[in-house]
Amino acid sequence: MAPKPLDYESLNENVKKSVYAVRGELYLRASELQKEGKKIIFTNVGNPHALGQKPLTFPRQVVALCQAPFLLDDPNVGLLFPADAIARATHYLAMTSGGLGAYSDSRGLPGIRKEVAEFIERRDGYPSDPELIYLTDGASKGVMQILNAIIRNNKDGILVPVPQYPLYSATIALYGGSLVPYYLEESANWGLDIKNLRQSISEARSKGIEVRAMVIINPGNPTGQCLSAANIREILEFCYVENLALLADEVYQQNIYQDERPFVSAKKILMEMGLPISMEVQLVSYHTVSKGYWGECGQRGGYFEMTNLSPETVDEMYKISSISLSPNVPAQIFMGLMVNPPKPGDISFMRFAAESKEILESLRRRARIMTDGFNSCRNVVCNFTEGAMYSFPQIRLPPKAIEAAKRAGKVPDVFYCLKLLEATGISTVPGSGFGQKEGVFHLRTTILPAEQDMPEIMASFKKFNDEFMEQYEHHRGYSRM
Amino acid sequence: MAPKPLDYESLNENVKKSVYAVRGELYLRASELQKEGKKIIFTNVGNPHALGQKPLTFPRQVVALCQAPFLLDDPNVGLLFPADAIARATHYLAMTSGGLGAYSDSRGLPGIRKEVAEFIERRDGYPSDPELIYLTDGASKGVMQILNAIIRNNKDGILVPVPQYPLYSATIALYGGSLVPYYLEESANWGLDIKNLRQSISEARSKGIEVRAMVIINPGNPTGQCLSAANIREILEFCYVENLALLADEVYQQNIYQDERPFVSAKKILMEMGLPISMEVQLVSYHTVSKGYWGECGQRGGYFEMTNLSPETVDEMYKISSISLSPNVPAQIFMGLMVNPPKPGDISFMRFAAESKEILESLRRRARIMTDGFNSCRNVVCNFTEGAMYSFPQIRLPPKAIEAAKRAGKVPDVFYCLKLLEATGISTVPGSGFGQKEGVFHLRTTILPAEQDMPEIMASFKKFNDEFMEQYEHHRGYSRM
């Protein structure tokens, strides 16, 4: 009998080729174990609230009032909500035409896009145009939209860091393009060496690939590194010379855990470089309400800003946005709140500042606890998490473990991570999901488990790891390389 | 100089080919006029809250509490929220792992998907499996996901009704497939004649197109017709014989304005038909929180249910959903509330029922006022809006108007709609955006303007139309054909 249109064998091959490790085999097995009653520590996704982080109070008050605008007329509203939350809800509702239940403009509410532009101007010291800022259902949707516009066929290449966040590999496969990897240097704290870029692009070209865009993730996911201004400048020069659009994934810009390299945006550096580069390099920059000290992942709010794109392309992006009508409006309000938080003197300022500070300082401590924990384990080495929300330790698997994995039909790091999951309930993502050099193995965890649980989690990890290494090594006392 | 990667000429041709009329030239011109201070009546999108429809109170109370869960511990909460809203918020928060700020499973919260399955079972009288129900950011995103999986290349055809909702034409173009039109019969109240289907499919095949799926919109958008059970049965037989997947867009299932043909789902008819058809025809059915008497468009909540898809395909859809992590969680709660509304005896039941009834009865009256208004105009004929939210009158343009349009470089119905907009502020969508037979012209309006404004809007329309016809006709007294 002929296969049916929605049978597996009849599906679009690009759909089948697309792989998304963050919710792959490990996640599915962890979900099964959870159903069976095992306690699982989900560190596979940067999902802070799922691991106990409390939402910031002020933005939730504002959005609750926007959802229930009839409360604004209730004489008792002041018993439950502070006056500045009430004022802010009124401010945002006035930007909508019909409240949160009405589709907004497909690019997002003009008033919110203006607040985003003002935020970018304050951050970078250069002008930002609200007409070039589009709000999206999370940053991922914006990344997918731009990649869909760039990729025409399988000869179009996109430079992507390795290790990379699998959104990029999955989306490039889905739209039928070619991923062109460039390697980050683990031994240089996951730094980006421009030589590696040049090598990657010439290899790709020798295979007939037209490289059209480059992705940077800063701070890095899964690697946690923060790019220096000098490094970003080199990247922009490279993009200028090679005629590449730059996609700057800057969703972790508020997650910085060291003082040497504060976040600096690609847009700011581009503007600083002056003519001709500042008017020539096409740049799309991404941000989100899901990360930072907000962690409002479930709301699905993001934006992208377009720099040096032609007006016709900006219009095309508008058209594509309009097919699904509008990004969700509540998350647009969260975006407004994120870029325009309470100010000193506001009633809610002290509380907001205290809550934010507590979250960020705790993340900084957890980044340290986790790195130190991994580095205390046999055959494990780990760079410090400078930014973002992840730790990406290298696991030096003994040859016998690699053989055992092969016998089990598993990629070695998947084998290790599955054993870790079964033994401890810690659900990680194998490094192979992000890309890594041949014969080198990693795993990714978030640094998000509650701070008070961290020592126990790291002890549990160490116990598992050291026993695993013991089991698969010939001799006791095999030393770390 | 070489074009840059994000210059218009370098973009993916499918992106450029994709056209979305609902937010096209008319909408853009209307937005301009609004900026200039003109009062615009936006009837281009089915966006009830933007035209003054108030949100239902109970679901907004529940979602506001879910956004601000700290209110649940506040001793004053009972002053602002009824007990059943508090209980329901507690119920939904318990389904999440970390509240609205945490990503859910990429398919949506299991508890909500169970409530959706129970709703479908009550509606149809046949079992529904929560594992085959995926929640989405509005129904559009689900339609796009399935079409992306079906379409492999430009020889893959999708049968789409004409006139159609342009989501389908835009998405098929975006993913590089071929739209295969089948015509609805205006003279038979926009009925679906199976003969037209057979003709469309054989014409497509003669051009080498492999037709893989068929779309039905029931109730119809823009045409408003409700399919009879007998008609759906014919369609399913046709899909069985021709090996087509059926995509059933049923987002207007709660918007019915006559009693002869109540809504009946494709799933229910499929199950009634028994073996082999009930086990063979692949069906994907869509629903949303944006329509019905909810109109919660801005929240972006929807679901699709998969029937007779292989487990491998269901897994592939899970994988694709996971690339953008999860649908927004607040809209998932709205979906739960829509499929599981307050019941008789609940504190909020009377208010909820009264609000719902008022909206639906008013829509029914407005459907009548609008149809009658159009039919009172010179050279305008209009079928009654049996369901959905739109009126789709045929505008019989005199030859001189068609010539004038050509001189202005406009499609004739675009020319008419632009003149209408400039004269009256009524923002409609020209019929050419939905597809229509050669030489026949329409426009689409929603039936959503506030009921008290309707007489004035229709009078304003009639005045414009009748003067337009007067201007472009040779003789006074030219009678309606």
Domain boundaries, chain B: 8-39+353-472, 99-339
CB of B32 within 8 Å of any CB in chain A? Answer: no
User: For residues B55 and B330, what is the distance between their CA atoms, to the nearest angstrom?
Assistant: 15
CA separation for the pair A289, A332 (Å, rounded): 9
Alpha-carbon separation of residue A450 from A353, B18, B69, B98, B223 (angstroms): 20, 47, 20, 13, 55
In angstroms, the Cα distances linking B32 to A106, B26, B421 are 15, 10, 11
What span, in angstroms and rounded, lies between the C-alpha atoms of A74 and A214?
A: 52
CATH class of A100-339: alpha beta
Q: Give the one of A15, A71, A104 whose C-beta lies nearest to B298's C-beta.
A: A104
| pLDDT digits 0-9 by tens, A21-71 | 666 789 889 989 998 999 999 898 899 999 999 999 999 999 999 999 999
**Dihedral of the alpha carbons of A299, A89, B288, B20, in degrees to the nearest 10:** -90
Tell me the chain B residues in contact with residue A98 when contact means C-beta distances shorter than 8 Å.
Answer: 47-53, 298
Note whether B98 contacts A50, CB cutoff 8 Å: yes
User: Rounded distance, CA B17 to CA B9, Å?
Assistant: 12
Question: Pairing mode, if any, of strands A156-162 and A210-217?
Answer: parallel
Q: Contact, B132 vs B307, CB < 8 A? A: yes
Mutate to test the interface with B, among A6, A107, A169 (most CBs of B within 10 A): A6
Kindly list the residues from chain A whose CB atom is less than 8 angstroms away from the CB atom of residue B150: 5-6, 10-12
pLDDT (tens, 9 = 90+) of chain B, 481 residues, equals 789 999 999 999 999 888 876 667 898 899 899 989 999 998 988 999 999 999 999 999 999 999 999 999 999 999 999 999 999 999 999 999 899 999 999 999 999 999 999 999 999 999 999 999 999 999 999 999 999 999 999 999 999 999 988 899 999 999 999 999 999 999 988 989 999 999 999 999 999 999 999 999 999 999 999 999 999 999 999 999 999 999 999 999 999 999 999 999 999 999 999 999 999 999 999 999 999 999 999 999 999 999 999 999 999 999 999 998 999 999 999 999 999 999 999 999 999 999 999 999 999 999 999 999 999 999 999 999 999 999 999 999 999 999 999 999 999 999 999 999 999 999 999 999 898 889 999 999 999 999 999 999 999 999 999 999 999 996 544 444 4
B positions 420-449 inside 8 Å of A (CB): none
Of the candidate CATH numbers 3.40.1360.10, 3.60.20.10, 3.40.718.10, 3.90.1150.10, the domain formed by A8-39+353-472 belongs to 3.90.1150.10
Contact B49 A16 (CB under 8 A): no
Beta strands in A163-260 (DSSP E): 178-183, 210-217, 245-249
pLDDT tens digits, residue range A388-415? 999 999 999 999 999 999 999 999 999 9
Residues of chain B numbered 159-188 and touching chain A (CB < 8 Å) = 167, 170-171, 174
Decide if A360 touches B, using CB distance below 8 A.
no
Q: Calculate how close chain A gets to B39, using CA atoms only, in Å.
A: 13
A171 and B323 within 8 Å at the Cβ level: the answer is yes
- Tokens standing for A383? 């760079």
Helices B311-323, A166-174: axis angle to 10 degrees equals 120
Residue numbers in B near A74 (CB within 8 A): 80
What CATH number belongs to B99-339?
Answer: 3.40.640.10
What ipTM was estimated for this complex? 0.95
Output phi, psi for A176, to 5 deg. Answer: 75, 25
Q: Which residue of A has its CA nearest to B167?
A: A323
Q: Which residues of B fall within a CB distance of 8 Å from A5?
A: 150, 212-213, 243-245, 282
B74 phi-psi bin (left φ>0, alpha ψ -120 to 50, beta other):
beta
Q: Which two tokens stand for residue B17?
A: 């080919």
For B299, the closest of A13, A53, A101 (CB atoms) is A101
Contact B129, B102 (CB under 8 A): no
User: For residue A216, what are the contacts with CB-CB under 8 A and spacing of at least 6?
Assistant: A161, A192, A227, A232, A235, A246, A247, A248, A249, A266
Q: What secondary structure, in 3-state letters, does A257-314 show?
A: CCCCCCCCCHHHHHHHHCCCHHHHCCEEEEEECCCCCCCCHHHCCEEEEEECCCHHHH
Q: Which of A430, A426, A454 is nearest to A440 (CA)?
A: A430
Peptide bond connecting B262 to the previous residue in cis, omega within 30 degrees of 0: no
